[in-house]
Amino acid sequence: MKQVSVKELHQRREAGEKIVLVDVREQNEVDYCKIAGSIHIPMGQVPFRLNELNPNDSIVVHCHKGGRSMQVCNFLASKGYKDVSNLHGGITEWSRQIDPSVPMY
């Protein structure tokens, strides 16, 4: 499975690349903090909400530190999604390296 660093994701987004950023954390985690522009589909709902994602889009999946998102990436790839990447280090690394205003937990 492809991994993308938070710095690479940030650079690609800043350059205007169309990337669908999917947050697979639970609602209480999203209520505490989130990456701007992400869409929230909790991990357990992904199989039931595939119609919300285009299999041809560039998709980056994230969670707290990268474990759940890796599982979702593997699932999406198994369903034919072509360009899926895991955000290495999740929202924790995003907070550390890109946007310290995003609270860590």
Q: Is 73 a catalytic residue?
A: no
Q: What share of the chain is helix, strand, coil (3-state, %, to 5)?
A: 40, 20, 40
Q: Which of 63, 73, 87, 98 is catalytic?
A: 63
Quickly count: other Cβ atoms within 10 Å of residue 58's Cβ: 17
Positions marked catalytic: 63
